[in-house]
Chain A
Amino acid sequence: MAPQTDGLYAAREPIFPKRVYGTFRNLKWAIMAVTLGIYYLVPWLRWDRGPNLPDQAVLIDLANRRFYFLWIEIWPHEFYFVAGLLIMAGLGLFLFTSALGRVWCGYTCPQTVWTDLFILVERWIEGDRNARIRLHRAKWSPRKAALRALKWIVWTLIGVATGGAWVFYFADAPTLANQFLTLTAPAVAWITVAILTATTVILGGFMREQVCIYMCPWPRIQGAMMDDSTLTVAYRDWRGEPRGKARDATAGDCVDCNACVAVCPMGIDIRDGQQMECITCALCIDACDDIMGKLGRERGLIDYLALSDAPMEQAGEKPRPLWAHVLRPRTVLYSIIWASFGVAMMYALFIRPEIEMTVAPVRNPTFVTLSDGSIRNAYEIRLRNKHGEPRQFGVHVSGDLALRLDLEGTPYDSIAVAPDATHKIRVYVTIPRHSPLAEANETPIRFWIEDLGNGERASVNSIFNGRGDQ
């Protein structure tokens, strides 16, 4: 090949992955069915939460600032649960990458799953690899136009379904579906569906491997997660080389049939070694195993293999078992950190009270002198009722027997809080003129709330500001 120094930019080389059969292909079909099934169907699951709350099992209710997940309801101030889940997702990716390489990319990444689906549609409509290459090279004709149009229409329908399913997570799915059918859905829903339809079709139909190679940051980060013991897809070159005809006794096992290249969705040759583009989807393993089976040779010329396995195998040593690759100090450490986050979050979730209070002392001014000389502090208290029915909350203060508590707007010491709501109330704590608290600068006090329905209590510490003239 002559050196090419003039071209700073290169056009995309189209890739026509061939149909493949085998263990990993079947695994990928199963994962595709499960992940797409979850994505499209979850918004339709119902979960009874009582009359005042939505009955959608998974719902991100942005307007009311609630996140519902089965029996769990997350309020905005509990967003750390979502942050914790993201941290767990990150650590989970570290764990899987250090054990199994880019297994996320190869099997479960939405880009991979949808591209796989789009390639499936492409194959159904335009035929397998060779037919598609012929069609690609053919001049435009009515047949080519019809096939292309049909393919793009089906892709667009998948895109619409993808964008459509997305918005169902943010609104009551049956209601919104009905609004779509009667053309009364809000503009933001239409726009979101339109944008996600476009991104799905463009990324899954046209960009494909370009997304992984040029747009996605994960492959770069994942490179730092892998080590010598990480299982990746690799070619046993000491067994395959030199390549030659099947009946050539001096040649290695590789018959240079190019099956591994033909099936690769990234358009690479795995026999060149581990490379940036490889998403370890393992389809080349299936393709090669198929050929080896037909030739009556041992499977695994291309296989899941760690870098450190290569010299051991070449030296004729016994290969390390799978568990020795997966169970290493590094992966155990990741697992422990991952699990501790999970356990901590479960703990936080289960001890989470159904009633909550926050207290914000009014600092402007810090205290007010009343006409009889007594000192009064004001506080803004937020009472949270996470129950599905209204509750009566008693509010009390402790710290000194002479403290008196008044609620703004009511002569009583309790207040009704609506279901699944926060109630903000101004309260006043007063101390007589000559008491030590009035003369001190600051005195710690404690607010209590009690759910008068079931006796559940919660407390928050605060400060009482006096005149400070002691």
Chain B
Amino acid sequence: MDEPRVDELTGRPTMGHEFDGIEELNTPMPRWWLWTFYLTIIWGVGYTIAYPAWPMVSSATAGLLGYSTRAEVSADIADHNLSNAALVEQLNAVDLAAFDPQSDLHRYAVARGASVFRAQCSQCHGSGAAGAVGYPNLLDNDWLWGGDLENVAHSVRHGIRNETDTDARYSEMPAFGDILEPEEIEALVKFVPTLAEADWDSAGGVLFADNCAACHGDLGLGDRSQGAPNLADAIWLYGGDSESLTQTIAKARFGVMPAWGQRLSEEDVRAVSTYVHSLGGGE
């Protein structure tokens, strides 16, 4: 290392090192810059004292300010509930049969219901409410128990085939494997998909009139009062192929749904029903 010297051109001292004839002038940093550095250290120490910071075995130091993100979220939720209290009250009072879809309250119900749906319903009915085999598609216009808002709300509140709720909806299709011969079931399986242009004199037609029409209707259009599906439309909850239909007729199908009235608040039941009703299939 060379000795520091005074640069002739600028009259300022050099740092004393040199590479290929290039030397560095000694240009000290401003003192205040050092203070800001110390300040950040003091701030950092203060921060760990004031706020939760130091990890312990199963928790962390709480900090002198008592700040907690959890408490902050709780406070935010409480604030939110408070500011929505009036809307919730209106929602619980509104007549579902005459709920104006253009009202602000309806928009609130749909928005609230969407988040309830994602949390509680999407596991079976899908995040887009398109359902799956055995889990009804809530977007179409085919409803087992009726697609107006009151009926949707009834299904949500009391559930399907749910012994914990006396108002739960039950559909009671017998397992025809115990009643009919295998060839008779085969004839029905051939007949049912042709219901739209049915040949009522065929073996299947006669069997349908004798065994199925009591619930599914003379024309197979279904009966919502007992949850009997329309068999003449394009929608098959459990599949419309021969194998699925054989299974359905022989063993019957028993879909279940919890009674959400027991788990959700009244406003959430109403909100999620309104949301489902607003997805395009509502009647």
Contact = CB atoms under 8 A, between A and B. Distances in A.
B194 to A, nearest CB: 14
Nearest to A415: B102
A362 B102 contact: no
A426 B13 contact: no
Interface residues of A, number: 33
Interface string A415-434: 00000000000101000010
Contacts of A378: 139, 279-280
A214 B30 CA distance: 8
Residue among A362, A369, A428 with max Cβ neighbours from chain B (10 Å): A369
A9 B34 contact: yes
Interface residues of B, number: 38
A178 B28 CA distance: 49
Contact of B235 (A362, A371, A428): A371
B230 A1 contact: no
A354 to B, nearest CB: 23
Contact of B230 (A3, A364, A371, A410): A371
A214 B28 CA distance: 12
A1 B234 contact: no
Given A371-B140, A373-B234, A410-B102, A1 B33 contact: no
Nearest to B280: A428
A316 interface: no
Contacts of A210: 30, 32
A210 B233 CA distance: 80
Interface string A105-130: 00000000000000000000000000
A37 interface: no
A257 to B, nearest CB: 21
A408 B5 contact: no
A43 B278 CA distance: 45
Tell me the dominant secondary structure on chain A's binding face.
Answer: loop
B29 interface: yes
Contacts of B44: none
Residue among B12, B14, B106, B128 with max Cβ neighbours from chain A (10 Å): B128
A7 B29 CA distance: 9
A5 B26 contact: yes
B63 to A, nearest CB: 22
B137 A368 contact: yes
B26 A371 contact: no
A365 B15 CA distance: 70
Contact of B106 (A4, A272, A371, A409): A409
A10 B29 CA distance: 6
A229 to B, nearest CB: 25
B233 A372 contact: yes
A7 B278 contact: no
Contacts of B12: 1
Contacts of A410: 101-102
Contact of A9 (B16, B28, B106, B141): B28
B6 A365 contact: no
A397 to B, nearest CB: 15
A11 B31 contact: yes
A12 interface: yes
Given A365-B128, A371-B140, A371-B233, A376 B280 contact: yes
B134 interface: no
Contacts of B32: 12, 207, 210
B127 interface: yes
Nearest to B10: A272
Contacts of A10: 28-31
Interface string B135-173: 001011110000000000000000000000000000000
* A-B complex: 4 closest residue pairs judged by Cβ atoms: A364-B128, A409-B101, A373-B234, A371-B233
22 contacts: A1-B13, A3-B4, A3-B16, A4-B13, A5-B16, A9-B29, A9-B30, A9-B33, A10-B30, A11-B30, A210-B32, A364-B130, A369-B140, A371-B233, A371-B235, A372-B234, A378-B279, A408-B101, A409-B102, A409-B278, A410-B102, A426-B278
